[in-house]
Amino acid sequence: MADDEIKFETRFSRSRGLFPYVAGILGAAVLILAFMYITGIGRDRLPYSEYFAVRAPTAADGSEALSLQTLMTVSDDKTVSIEGTVVNRTDAPISGLLAVIAVTDKFTLPVQTVNAPVDPVDLGPKGTGMFHTMVPLGENGLGGYTINFRLPDEGPFVPHKDERPPEPEPSSEKKPSR
C-alpha cells in the first residue's frame, strides 16, 4: 500500500544538502548591503557615522563648491613653487580648507604630496582665498602636479571648477598660401 500513495514532485523532494540555502542567503545579504551602500540607507547607524556627517559643500546651483581662479607655477631644477587663488561659490563659510598638491616627476612617479592651507582659514561665502607651497624636486625633475581641495582632519575632498582664463596662444604669422 505504500506504493499506491500519491507523491508530488517538488524542488524539495530530493535532498541537495545545505549549499543552495547558504548560497541563497549569502547572495541576498550581498544584494542588501550593495543596496544600502549605493543609496546611503543606514549610514547613520554604522560605526564611524560621525565621519559621514562631514560632507563636502555644494554651490546653490548644485555644482562644485569651489572655483580655481588663478594658478602660477615657478620651477627650477631643485624646487617648484605653486600658488593660486580659489573662490568659495557656496552661501556658507568653509573653514580649514586645504589644497592637496600631488607632485610627480618626469616619469610620472610621485615625488611628494603637500597639504597647503588656504588663507584665510575661514573662507566666507563668495570669498577668495590663497594657497602657496614649495616642493623640493628629486633628480628626475618636474613632470606635473594635481590639485584637489579637502576639508580638515582628513575630511572629504571638495570638488572645484577650473575657471582660470585661457592662456593666450603664441602669435604665429600665417603665410599666405599660393
Task: Please state, in angstroms and rounded to a whole number, the distance separating the CA atoms of residues 67 and 61.
Answer: 14
Q: Which residues of the chain have pLDDT under 50?
A: 1
The domain limits of the chain are: 15-53, 66-162
Contacts of 146 (CB under 8 A, 6+ apart): 101, 102
Q: Which of 82, 72, 86 is nearest to 149 (CA)?
A: 86
pTM given for the model:
0.64
Residue 104 near residue 72 (C-beta atoms within 8 A) = no
Asked if the peptide bond before residue 168 counts as cis, ω within 30 degrees of 0, the response is no
What confidence score (pLDDT) does residue 46 get?
A: 61
- Cα dihedral 13→15→17→19 (10° resolution): -40
What is 66-162's CATH number? 2.60.40.10
DSSP per-residue string spanning 97-114 = -EEEEEEE-TTS-EEEEE
- Strand ranges across the sheet with 110-117: 110-117, 98-104, 144-150, 157-158
What confidence score (pLDDT) does residue 104 get?
A: 92
What confidence score (pLDDT) does residue 4 get?
A: 73
pLDDT single digits (tens) 78-92: 899 999 999 999 998
What confidence score (pLDDT) does residue 51 get?
A: 55
What confidence score (pLDDT) does residue 68 get?
A: 95
